[in-house]
């Protein structure tokens, strides 16, 4: 057994200020005067799991529609105003939320607040915009899934194996038939329900004075009509009691691949029980000295690569329950998926029984803390994470605690997490290359 001693990783000290406007919009400010740049993020509590049955892909489609003009701005005006200020922007759809964000010089703060408030009042939902963006999303599906080797592996392919309910199991990119059936009234209903002030968080990080930023936020967002947040559906499902395993043929894939997932504790209500799994994934796969890289890639050569992470979209601290720990591997020609799965079971058993080697946990925690610190060093990374932490937990200050919390995970907790990843709780999806079944 290891005599592992914990490493000391201090908490960060980013300022965090919170307030809520009368219309229900939650606001998080994190001033940092070290460089003349700001990050602005607006996050809505709606994602892939929230889209209605028969409307697969709708959350992502609506993200596109939010860039097609707004209450007082014509199509492409958002692009022009951000880029004209010297900034960058984007948006993205996730399992549990949708975000919109900009990074700009600090003198453009008011312009960004106006832009976000204007589309919070209402995007331009027209037949032309809807048809155009349906076509854009369909092309994105063709490029990223249908015409790409391993397209949708494993984030689209594994949930239907692990889960039984529509919210957790369906294709978040959407089917062409569902997308083509979407109407402007559908989009308007979706906006009214999910894009309410009370269902959103605004976060600003970077070079500003708090009092001035608050004044600007009140100026631009206070008159956005108040609508309450919708009741959030219960997406809970029971854990697996028997192994599930499926395969599919990918005619574009040159080599076999396999991904497996196990349910983990609720990231929100059982954060302390969840953290050891986050650490375990890195112990198993982060770097050449990690358990599965050393065994599967370097020693056995039974896979060409192996990775591990929490959440189907790789977002350990921005996801709700149910979620999972995932391991995925690509195999060499003629590689055996059965052998890979057996080896993973052996390494999990060895870790659970024998513990970690000297320095293994501390090394992993130090690397994880470095990654976390790097992610939030940029003002946009800070604004995005704080916005989601406020949205899902009401605690944006958790960002300051994350590296320290990772360092407090013990060897005993990691061993217990490894012991819980049993074959009877596993869901796996296998990629069969080129039609060779």
Sequence-ordered alpha helix ranges (H) in 66-149: 77-84, 109-121, 127-141
- What mean pLDDT comes out for the span 82-110? 98
The model's confidence at residue 9, banded by pLDDT at 50, 70 and 90, is confident
Q: How far apart are CA 99 and CA 92, in angstroms?
A: 6
The structure tokens listed for 218 are 């009140």
pLDDT at 436: 47
Q: How many CA atoms lie within 13 A of 247 on its CB side?
A: 15
Q: Give the start-to-end residue ranges of the domains of the chain.
A: 17-221, 244-433
- The strand pair at 257-263 and 426-433 is best described as antiparallel
- What mean pLDDT comes out for the span 418-432? 98
pLDDT at 10: 85
- In the numeric block, the tokens 């308007």 are attached to 188
R_g (Cα) of the chain, nearest Å: 23
Coil, strand or helix: which one is 191? helix
- Tell me how long the chain is: 437
Q: Is the pLDDT assigned to residue 3 strictly greater than 70?
A: no
Q: Is the pLDDT assigned to residue 437 strictly greater than 60?
A: no
pLDDT at 263: 98
**Least confident residue range of 261-265, 285-289, 296-300, 338-342:** 285-289
Measuring CA to CA, how many Å separate 80 from each of 39, 63, 85, 409?
18, 18, 8, 47
Q: How far apart are CA 329 and CA 128, in angstroms?
A: 43
Q: Report the CATH fold assignment for 17-221.
A: Cytochrome Bc1 Complex; Chain A, domain 1 (3.30.830)
Q: How many CB atoms lie within 10 A of CB 373?
A: 13
Phi and psi at residue 384, in whole multiples of 5°?
Answer: -65, -50
The model's confidence at residue 41, banded by pLDDT at 50, 70 and 90, is very high
pLDDT at 6: 62
| Homologous superfamily, domain 244-433 | Metalloenzyme, LuxS/M16 peptidase-like (3.30.830.10)
Q: Is the pLDDT assigned to residue 68 strictly greater than 50?
A: yes
The model's confidence at residue 187, banded by pLDDT at 50, 70 and 90, is very high
Q: CA angle, 201 as apex, 229 and 15 as ends, to 5°?
A: 145
- Is the separation of the CB atoms in 367 and 282 below 8 Å? yes
- In the numeric block, the tokens 């701005």 are attached to 73
- What mean pLDDT comes out for the span 385-405? 97
pLDDT tens figures, 13-27: 999 999 999 999 999
The model's confidence at residue 272, banded by pLDDT at 50, 70 and 90, is very high
- Is the separation of the CB atoms in 30 and 205 below 8 Å? yes
The model's confidence at residue 71, banded by pLDDT at 50, 70 and 90, is confident
Percent of the chain with pLDDT over 70: 98
- What mean pLDDT comes out for the span 336-363? 97
Please provide the average confidence, as pLDDT, over all residues in the chain. 96
pLDDT at 5: 54
The reply to whether domains 17-221 and 244-433 share a CATH topology is yes
- What mean pLDDT comes out for the span 378-395? 97
pLDDT at 4: 52
């Amino acid at each position: 057994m290891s005599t592992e001693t914990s490493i000391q990783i201090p908490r960060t000290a980013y300022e965090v200020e919170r307030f809520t406007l009368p219309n229900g919009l939650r606001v998080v400010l994190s001033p940092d005067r070290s460089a003349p740049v700001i990050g602005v993020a607006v996050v809505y509590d709606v994602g892939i799991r929230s889209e209605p049955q028969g409307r697969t892909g709708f959350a992502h489609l609506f993200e596109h529609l939010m860039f097609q003009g707004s209450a007082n701005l014509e199509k492409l005006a958002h692009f022009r105003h951000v880029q004209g200020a010297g900034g960058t922007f984007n948006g993205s759809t996730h399992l549990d939320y949708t975000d919109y964000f900009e990074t700009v010089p600090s003198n453009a703060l008011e312009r960004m607040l106006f832009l976000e408030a204007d589309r919070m009042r209402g995007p331009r939902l027209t037949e032309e915009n809807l048809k155009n963006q349906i076509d854009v999303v369909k092309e994105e599906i063709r490029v990223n899934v249908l015409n790409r080797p391993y397209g949708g592996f494993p984030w689209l392919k594994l949930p239907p194996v692990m889960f039984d309910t529509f919210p957790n199991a369906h294709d978040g990119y959407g089917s062409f038939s569902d997308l083509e059936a979407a109407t402007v009234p559908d989009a308007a209903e979706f906006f009214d329900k999910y894009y309410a002030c009370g269902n959103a968080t605004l976060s600003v990080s970077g070079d500003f004075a708090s009092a001035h930023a608050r004044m600007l936020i009140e100026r631009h967002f206070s008159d956005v009509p108040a609508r309450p947040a919708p009741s959030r559906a219960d997406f809970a499902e029971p854990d697996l009691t028997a192994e599930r395993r499926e395969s599919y043929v990918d005619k574009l894939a040159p080599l076999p691949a396999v991904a497996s997932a196990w349910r983990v504790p609720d990231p929100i209500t059982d954060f302390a029980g969840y953290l050891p799994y986050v650490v375990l994934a890195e112990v198993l796969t982060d770097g050449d000295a990690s358990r599965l890289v050393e065994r599967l890639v370097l020693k056995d050569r039974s896979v060409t690569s192996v990775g591990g992470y929490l959440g189907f979209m790789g977002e350990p601290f921005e996801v709700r329950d149910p979620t999972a720990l995932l391991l995925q591997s690509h195999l060499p020609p003629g590689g055996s998926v059965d052998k890979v799965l057996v080896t993973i079971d052996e390494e999990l058993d060895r870790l659970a029984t024998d513990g970690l080697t000297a320095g293994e946990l501390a090394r992993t925690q130090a690397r994880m803390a470095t990654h976390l610190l790097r992610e939030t060093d940029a003002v946009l990374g800070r604004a995005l994470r704080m916005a989601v932490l406020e949205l899902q937990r009401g605690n944006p200050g958790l960002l300051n605690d994350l590296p320290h919390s990772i360092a407090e995970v013990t060897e005993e907790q990691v061993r217990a997490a490894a012991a819980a990843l049993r074959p009877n709780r596993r869901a796996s999806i296998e990629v069969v290359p080129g039609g060779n079944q």
